[in-house]
C-alpha cells in the first residue's frame, strides 16, 4: 500500500490497520503529557495508596516494593511500546492479540482480551526513554477487548470512589478539628459523590472536548508545581527520622505467615501507581523519580507509623502531613492539592475508557456495538461510549449503599483485568517473534534481541502480581474484608466466553482481518 507525500505517517498506519480516522486529533506533545500525567498521577497515587504498604510491609517494604514494581513495569512498558510501534491503534491489547496470537486462537483470544476488566502517569520534557517517542505517535494506545474494556470501566469507577472518599475524609477532619464532633459518612453520601464526580467527568468530556487538550496542558503545570508545593514544606518543616527506620523497618500488621508475603500484598499500592502503562507515556525517567521522591519524603517525615495508622484511615498521608508540619490546617492545605488533582484524573480516565469502549464496539465486540461506536459528526466524540462509561460508574456507585465490600471488589477488579490483558498481549507477541517462521513487521521502536528477555521478565512479573491482586489485606478475613475481585474476574471471563460462542463469533470482526486485507 503506497502513500503520497500528503499523507501523514499516523494516517498511513491507521490505513494499514484497516481503520478509518474518525476521532479529532486535538492532542500534541505537551497536552498528551498533561493527559497522561493527570491520568496516572504517579506521585499522588503513592500517597493515596500508602495505607496498603504501611499495613503490609512497612516503610522498608514500600521502598523496595516500589523499586521492584518499577523494574517489572519497565519491562512491561518496553514490551508494550515495541508492540504499539508496530500496531498503533486505539484497539490496543485486543488488536495486538488478534495480530500476533496463533492463527487458530486469534479471534477468541482477541475477543476475550477485549472483554476483561483497569486502573490509572506523570512526565514532562527531556524524555530519555524512547517509550514516549513511540507511544506519542500511537492512536490512543490504551484500548483493549473485553478484559480491557471492563478493566477500564472498573478503573474509572475506582477513581470516582477514591475521590468521593477523599472528600468525605476532608469533611471529617475539618469537623473534628473545628467543632470536636465526629463525622461518620453513610454509604448514600459517598454514592452521591461518586455520581457527582462521574457526572462532572462526563459533562467535560462531551461539552468541553475541544478544550480538553488545552486544559490538560494547564493541569500539567499544576501537577508539577503541586509536587514541589508538597515536598518542600515536608522537607523544611518535618523532622527526618534515621535512615534505618525507613530502609530497614519492615512490618507485618496484616498477620501473614512471613514478611515476604506481607510485602507482596502491600506492593499492590505501588502497582496501582504504575498500572496503565499502555496509556501514552508512563515510564519517562522524570516520572519514576517524582514518585520515588514523594515516597521517600513521606516515609522520612511521617513520624511514628503507628500514629499514622491509628485510628484507621483510608488516607493516612493526611495524618503524616500533620505530623510533619505540626498543624492540621497546613496538612489539609497540602492534601487539598491532591484532592484537586483527582477529579482531573477522572476526566482523563473517562476520556481513555470511552475510547476503549468505542474501539471494541467498532469491531462489534460489545452489545449495542453500533450505538457505542457512533461518533458525533460535529464534535467527533464517541458520545454514547462516554455516557455509557459514566452511567456504569453511577450504577456501581449504588452498590456502595448496600455494601462497600461489593463496590471495592468491582473496583479492585481493574488491576487484575488490565494486567491479564498485558500478559495475553505480550505472550502472543513473544510467540510471534520466537515461533513463527515469518518475521514480525518492523516498527519505529525495537529492542531486537533484548526484546525476548523483556517479554519473559514482564510475563513472569505480571503473573505474580495478578495472583496477589486477589489477596485480602489480612489472612484473617470475613465477608466484609474478603477481596471478592477474583469472583468478579472469573465471572467476567465466563460471561465473555459465553457471549463469544453465543453471539460474538458470528459478528465480531477480528482486527487481523483488516490488517491482512490492507497489507
Backbone angles phi, psi at 182, to 5 degrees: -80, 145
Looking at the domain assignment, is residue 16 inside a domain?
no
Closest Cα to residue 267, out of 60, 37, 477, 409? 60
Mean pLDDT computed over every residue of the chain? 76
pLDDT at residue 399, as a whole number: 78
The mean pLDDT value for 446-456 works out to 84
pLDDT digits (tens, 9 = 90+) for 135-180: 333 333 333 467 777 777 888 888 898 899 899 999 988 888 888 7
Q: What is the CATH number of the domain that holds 355?
A: 1.20.1740.10
Examine residue 10 and state whether it is found in any structural domain, yes or no: no
Q: What is the pLDDT of residue 311?
A: 74
Taking residues 204-209, report their average pLDDT: 86
Q: Give the model's pLDDT for residue 410.
A: 64
Query: Is-contact 117 154, C-beta < 8 A?
Result: yes
Q: Bigger pLDDT: 251 or 98?
A: 251
Q: Which three cell numbers stand for residue 39?
A: 491520568
Distance in angstroms (rounded) separating the CA atoms of residues 96 and 468: 26
Q: Of the candidates 435, 410, 457, which has an alpha carbon nearest to the alpha carbon of residue 150?
A: 410
The answer to whether the CB of 213 falls within 8 A of the CB of 31 is yes
- Answer whether residue 5 is part of any domain: no
Mean pLDDT of 388-409: 80
> What's the N-to-C CA distance of the chain in angstroms?
6
- Residues 59-69, mean pLDDT to the nearest whole number: 93
The average pLDDT across 242-248 equals 89
pLDDT for 435 beyond 90? no
Task: Look at residue 506 and tell me whether its pLDDT is greater than 70.
Answer: yes
- Region 468-493: mean pLDDT is 83
The total number of structural domains in the chain stands at 1
User: In sequence order, what are the residues at sequence separation of 6 or more whose Cβ sits closer than 8 angstroms to the Cβ of residue 378?
Assistant: none
Residues comprising the chain, all counted? 519
Phi, psi for residue 114 in degrees, rounded to 5: -70, -15
Is 507 inside a domain boundary?
Answer: yes
88 located within any domain? yes
CA 380/CA 376 separation, integer angstroms: 5
Domain assignment of residue 191, yes or no: yes
Per DSSP, what are the bridge partners of residue 113?
146
Does 2 reside within a domain? no
Residue among 220, 208, 352 at smallest CA distance from 277: 352
Instruction: State the angle between helix axes of 146-179 and 187-207 in degrees (0 to 180), rounded to the nearest 10.
Output: 120
Q: Which domain holds residue 173?
A: 31-513
Nearest one of 97, 22, 84, 88 to 385, comparing CA atoms: 22
Domain-embedded: residue 4: no
Are 285 and 129 within 8 A, CB to CB? yes
Return the top range by mean pLDDT from 161-175, 266-280, 413-427, 486-500.
Answer: 161-175
Per residue in 330-359, pLDDT tens? 999 999 999 988 888 888 889 878 887 887
- Sequence-ordered list of residues with C-beta below 8 angstroms from that of 413, at least 6 positions apart, any chain: 117, 150, 151, 154, 485, 488, 489, 492
Q: Is the pLDDT of residue 260 over 90?
A: yes
Query: Mean pLDDT across the stretch 403-421?
Result: 72
Q: pLDDT digits over 275-307, tens only?
A: 655 544 333 333 445 678 888 888 988 888 888
Question: H or E element: which one contains 57?
Answer: strand 56-57
What would the pLDDT profile of 102-145 be if each residue is shown by its tens digit? 767 666 676 666 555 444 333 322 323 333 333 333 333 333 46
Amino acid at each position: 500500500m503506497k502513500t503520497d507525500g500528503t499523507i501523514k505517517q499516523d494516517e498511513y498506519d491507521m490505513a494499514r490497520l484497516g481503520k478509518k480516522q474518525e476521532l479529532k486529533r486535538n492532542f500534541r506533545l505537551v497536552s498528551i503529557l498533561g493527559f497522561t500525567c493527570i491520568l496516572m498521577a504517579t506521585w499522588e497515587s503513592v500517597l493515596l495508596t500508602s495505607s496498603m504498604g504501611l499495613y503490609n510491609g512497612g516503610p522498608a517494604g514500600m521502598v523496595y516494593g516500589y523499586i521492584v514494581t518499577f523494574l517489572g513495569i519497565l519491562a512491561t512498558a518496553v514490551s508494550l511500546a515495541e508492540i504499539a510501534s508496530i500496531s498503533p491503534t486505539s484497539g490496543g491489547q485486543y488488536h495486538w492479540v488478534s495480530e500476533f496470537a496463533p492463527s487458530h486462537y486469534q479471534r477468541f483470544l482477541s475477543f476475550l482480551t477485549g472483554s476483561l476488566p483497569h486502573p490509572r502517569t506523570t512526565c514532562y520534557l527531556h524524555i530519555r526513554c524512547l517509550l514516549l517517542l513511540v507511544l506519542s505517535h500511537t492512536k490512543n494506545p490504551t484500548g483493549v477487548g473485553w478484559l480491557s474494556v471492563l478493566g477500564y470501566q472498573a478503573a474509572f469507577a475506582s477513581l470516582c470512589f477514591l475521590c468521593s472518599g477523599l472528600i468525605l475524609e476532608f469533611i471529617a477532619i475539618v469537623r473534628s478539628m473545628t467543632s470536636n464532633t465526629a463525622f461518620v459518612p453513610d454509604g448514600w453520601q459517598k454514592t452521591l459523590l461518586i455520581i457527582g464526580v462521574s457526572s462532572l467527568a462526563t459533562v467535560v468530556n462531551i461539552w468541553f472536548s475541544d478544550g480538553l487538550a488545552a486544559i490538560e496542558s494547564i493541569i500539567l503545570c499544576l501537577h508539577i508545581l503541586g509536587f514541589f508545593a508538597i515536598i518542600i514544606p515536608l522537607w523544611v518543616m518535618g523532622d527526618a527520622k534515621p535512615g534505618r527506620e525507613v530502609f530497614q523497618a519492615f512490618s507485618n500488621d496484616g498477620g501473614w505467615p512471613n514478611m515476604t508475603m506481607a510485602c507482596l500484598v502491600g506492593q499492590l499500592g505501588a502497582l496501582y501507581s504504575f498500572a496503565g502503562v499502555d496509556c501514552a507515556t508512563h515510564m519517562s525517567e522524570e516520572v519514576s523519580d517524582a514518585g520515588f521522591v514523594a515516597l521517600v519524603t513521606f516515609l522520612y517525615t511521617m513520624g511514628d507509623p503507628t500514629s499514622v495508622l491509628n485510628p484507621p484511615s483510608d488516607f493516612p498521608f493526611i495524618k503524616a502531613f500533620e505530623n510533619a508540619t505540626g498543624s492540621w490546617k497546613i496538612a489539609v492545605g497540602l492534601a487539598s492539592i491532591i484532592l484537586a488533582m483527582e477529579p482531573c484524573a477522572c476526566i482523563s480516565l473517562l476520556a481513555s475508557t470511552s475510547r476503549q469502549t468505542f474501539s471494541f464496539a467498532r469491531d462489534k465486540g460489545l452489545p449495542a456495538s453500533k450505538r457505542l461506536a457512533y461518533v458525533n459528526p460535529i464534535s467527533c466524540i464517541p458520545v454514547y461510549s462516554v455516557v455509557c462509561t459514566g452511567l456504569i460508574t453511577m450504577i456501581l456507585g449504588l452498590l456502595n449503599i448496600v455494601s462497600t465490600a461489593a463496590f471495592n471488589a468491582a473496583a479492585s477488579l481493574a488491576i487484575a483485568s488490565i494486567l491479564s490483558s498485558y500478559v495475553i498481549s505480550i505472550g502472543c507477541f513473544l510467540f510471534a517473534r520466537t515461533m513463527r517462521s515469518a518475521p514480525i513487521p518492523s516498527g519505529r521502536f525495537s529492542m531486537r534481541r533484548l526484546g525476548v528477555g523483556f517479554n519473559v521478565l514482564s510475563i513472569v512479573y505480571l503473573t505474580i502480581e495478578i495472583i496477589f491482586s486477589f489477596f485480602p489485606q489480612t489472612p484473617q478475613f470475613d465477608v466484609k474484608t474478603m477481596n471478592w475481585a477474583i469472583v468478579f474476574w472469573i465471572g467476567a471471563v465466563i460471561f465473555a466466553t459465553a457471549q463469544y460462542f453465543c453471539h460474538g463469533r458470528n459478528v465480531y470482526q477480528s482486527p487481523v482481518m483488516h490488517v491482512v486485507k490492507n497489507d
